[in-house]
Amino acid sequence: MAWRHAIYFAPAPEHPLWRAGCEWLGRDARAGEPLRPAASEAVREAWRYGFHATLKAPMRLREGATEADLLQALHAIAARTPAFEMPPLQVGWLGGFIALRPARPLAADHPLRQVADACVVGLDALRAPLAPAEQERYLRGGLSERQREHVRLWGYAHVLDDWRFHLTISKVWPDPGAPQALALCEAAKRHFAAALGSPLRFDAVCVFTEPAPGEPFVLTRRVALAAA
């Protein structure tokens, strides 16, 4: 039994974007791949989680729930979700960190929004409640009242109307305007340029697991979406 499970989007292993993301972070998060050190201190936190976009944030399973239950629920979501073409992505800032994000805002009914919402809501019955200390930690900072309610209801602030699709590729910078931060963003634009030019399809949801507290997350399953 893993310590925590997370449901993520990750490009297919053969796609240039997966290879570019793994090279940027310094590791391939797939199960069975060798664990290599982070490419730099600036990507160490993103390195631990693997190259991904969050659909359902890392969670512990509630008492009595099993990984088989999680996979069964995820297969049910995938079976009623047709695969779709991803919108164009670009390197940019999200708050204080660098990420790959849609080049244009997503409509409320975009398939990305729908699959993320389905994972947040449809898997939540399997999630163990946050411990009081965890909830207190998550509620710190500049959250809106709606985001605070998300933490209480769903265990994470950035869900539903507060969710933003992104693949994180840097740490949070205290000053995003600092020369080092700006240089890293420009380097990321160059690094990902070719891969972002390849058409990308959202055809699977991925299970990443945290084997033990603080250990790097591992991509253990890709659950295929329905044929479009």
pLDDT digits (tens, 9 = 90+) for 45-62: 999 999 999 999 999 999
Q: 207 forms bridges with which residues in the sheet?
A: 7, 221
In this prediction, residue 140 has a pLDDT band, given cuts at 50, 70 and 90, of confident
Cα dihedral sign, 59-218-194-179: positive
The CATH number that applies at residue 12 is 3.90.1140.10
| Mean pLDDT to the nearest integer, 102-119 | 96
- Burial per residue of 34-72, b for 16 or more beta-carbon CB atoms within 10 angstroms, e otherwise: eeeebbeebbeebbbbbbbbbbbbbbbbeeeeebeebee
* pLDDT at position 1: 67
**Residue 41, H or E segment:** none
Query: Residue 104 phi/psi, 5° resolution?
Result: -130, 150
Residue 188 sits in which domain range? Answer: 4-224
Q: Determine the Cα–Cα distance for residues 175 and 5; give it in Å rounded to an integer.
A: 32
Q: 54 forms bridges with which residues in the sheet?
A: 8
**Residue pLDDT, tens place only, 146-160:** 999 999 999 999 999
Amino acid at 54: T
- Helices assigned H by DSSP within the chain: 16-25, 44-49, 67-79, 111-122, 132-138, 145-154, 179-196
Domain count across the chain: 1
CA 39, distance to chain mean position in Å, is 19
* pLDDT at position 138: 85
Residue 100 has pLDDT above 80, yes or no: yes
**Residue pLDDT, tens place only, 200-211:** 999 999 999 999
**Residue pLDDT, tens place only, 165-204:** 999 999 999 999 999 999 999 999 999 999 999 999 999 9
Residue 8 has pLDDT above 80, yes or no: yes
Q: Determine the Cα–Cα distance for residues 25 and 191; give it in Å rounded to an integer.
A: 11
Residue 228 has pLDDT above 70, yes or no: no
Residue 99 has pLDDT above 70, yes or no: yes
pLDDT: is 221 or 142 the higher one? 221
* pLDDT at position 225: 98
Q: Determine the Cα–Cα distance for residues 66 and 82; give it in Å rounded to an integer.
A: 26
What percent of the chain lies above the pLDDT cut of 90?
93
